[in-house]
Chain A
Amino acid sequence: MKLQMLLAGEGGQGIQTIAKILSRAAANAGKEVSYIPSFGVEQRGTPSLAFLIIGDEAINYPRFDVADELVVLQQRAISTANKYVSLNTTMIFDSSTINHRSLPKIAKKILGAPVTKYAFEKFTPKSFNIIITGKLSHQLGLDKAIVWEVVAKTLGKKLTNPEIMKATKAAFEFGYDLTFEEENFSEPSYLPETSQIVMKGFGKTAYINPKSCKGCGICIEKCPVKALAFGETLGVYATPVPDIDLEKCIACGNCKRFCPDAAIKVDKDKKA
């Protein structure tokens, strides 16, 4: 028996960490494993793939052309992942950030889970990949205790705070027991906003482009009157976009000057 799993997402999401944890856990459980990453030169924001093969017999070659299970975690990764789909592929996707209509129709089975929604509502946004790890290890039939041991070892350096460790374990166990949606997928409510936000008031006009905003927080840090704070709208990397308090704003232009992505500016209205 051999299972070929492909994880497709975007740089910075934790695709390679998930694949590393799953492959180590499968190896600890006595299986034959191969894992090879594939990504571009950019560190963030471009498609990132992880080829994972788990089986009982020795594996000769780490790449494959057709995936048995294809996990898609980002809308922009679908076009890259499409060529690995066949009639026998089971697709697993994050139904809170991907519209199921955009997935290839030929796949044998499509399973969804609103992971981002759960991460935002029940845990912290960063626990997204831990929930996925839990769900996929269940899907692969790996033992919960073995996988958690690897998670704790891999993320041990980052999770020095015992409270965060506890929350991570809760997220992992929640993911392990999660059930897939098979037909009635939830609405993709965590899609990035694409239109420009224009706010007027107090003699000023603010323009914010969520399409460009990567949520780095430089404008919030550099605002001299603290008129900016993270809001509810989501930007291009599904990170929050700043909200502006025009009453406090003095239209100094610092946010425009420092924004690396040209996503924000505030103009003073011309006097009539």
Chain B
Amino acid sequence: MDKIMPESWKESTKPHLFCPGCGHGIVMRHLGNVIDEMKISRDVTLGIDIGCSLLSWNLFNVDTIQTHHGRTTPTMVGYKQVKEDRIAIAYMGDGGGYAIGLQSMVHAAYRNNPITVIVVNNENYAMTGGQASPTSPVGMVTPTSPSGKSSEFGTGFHAPEMIAGIANKNAFIARGTVTNPIQMASLIKKAIECQKSGNFAMIEILSMCPTNWKTNAKQSFEMLKEMELLYPQGEFKTGKTEMEQK
């Protein structure tokens, strides 16, 4: 039996609870690979939010905390303050990160708390049935916007750009996508390294939701392509350069 999954994944709980074709699985897999590569599976504490992200409660072989909705960031900030040698990763969806939990994230960035925040953006509230979220693009048909989302409710929330405006100069703020896993893995790695250097790191990852978008694999990637045009990828704050870290 050849093991395909990352070492840090818990083998007994597979297949995991995410839907077939969910982008969370791809993100989790590369997060697992980064944890393996950096050999930090004994040092990481993963905080997970309410929403589809909570389905990773038993996915990893690392310490995991289930927090209240939108309160993953402050929980992990507090955790990091008392356990300075741990690596705190807050993992959430766009509902927990940008709707109910936005003020927590803004203040964590403003105070430059040394944690890593990973926000998976799939443009809807997937667990409750795909309602429109702040990041839904104009015209998206959801149960709460049956004739397409109106621009009155926002044209798509660009959070990393906004947080980059108030974050410390040494913070790391970036956006990646699951269609480019190599870049995504390098962003996750940089975000963890930034936390190790004592600064706030936040990355957003564009992902897909085949269950609520009602798409197959091909249509999911087509929709993700449109999403990538709306949300530009890249590093908005690059953290400390290697020279500065030395």
Contact = CB atoms under 8 A, between A and B. Distances in A.
Interface of A: 12, 41-46, 196, 198, 207, 209, 211-212, 214-218, 220-222, 236-237, 239, 256-265
22 contacts: A12-B19, A41-B55, A41-B127, A42-B55, A44-B19, A44-B211, A45-B15, A196-B1, A207-B4, A211-B15, A212-B15, A216-B21, A216-B210, A217-B218, A222-B221, A259-B29, A260-B24, A260-B25, A260-B28, A262-B9, A262-B29, A265-B4
A217 B23 contact: no
Interface of B: 1-2, 4-6, 9, 14-26, 28-29, 54-55, 126-127, 178, 181-182, 210-211, 216-218, 220-221
A256 B6 CA distance: 11
Contacts of A217: 21, 216-218
Contacts of A236: 15
A43 B217 contact: no
Dominant secondary structure at the A interface: loop
Nearest to B33: A257
Most chain-B Cβ atoms within 10 A of its Cβ — which of A215, A217, A218, A259?
Answer: A218
B181 A257 contact: yes
Contacts of A42: 17, 19, 55
Contacts of B21: 214, 216-218, 260
A40 to B, nearest CB: 9
A260 B127 contact: no
A41 B4 CA distance: 27
A262 B14 contact: yes
Contacts of B55: 41-42
Contacts of A262: 4-6, 9, 14, 29
Given A218-B217, A260-B22, A46 B6 contact: no
Nearest to A195: B1
A220 B17 CA distance: 22
Given A207-B4, A218-B217, A261 B25 contact: yes
* 5 shortest interchain CB distances as A-B pairs: A260-B25, A216-B21, A214-B20, A262-B5, A217-B217
A221 B25 CA distance: 16
Most chain-B Cβ atoms within 10 A of its Cβ — which of A41, A221, A258, A260?
Answer: A260
Contact of B217 (A207, A220, A256): A220
A261 B29 CA distance: 8
Given A215-B20, A260-B21, 6 more contacts: A12-B19, A42-B55, A207-B2, A218-B217, A258-B178, A259-B26
Given A45-B15, A216-B210, A218-B21, A260 B4 contact: no
B14 A216 contact: no
B11 to A, nearest CB: 10
Contacts of B5: 212, 262
Most chain-B Cβ atoms within 10 A of its Cβ — which of A46, A216, A222?
Answer: A216
Given A41-B55, A42-B55, A265-B4, A260 B217 contact: no
A112 B55 CA distance: 34
Given A41-B127, A42-B55, A207-B4, A258 B26 contact: yes
A43 B127 contact: yes
B4 A263 contact: yes
A42 B181 CA distance: 25
B4 A256 contact: yes
Contacts of A222: 221
A212 B14 contact: yes
Contacts of A220: 217
B29 A260 contact: yes
Contact of A43 (B1, B19, B178, B218): B19
A169 B126 CA distance: 32
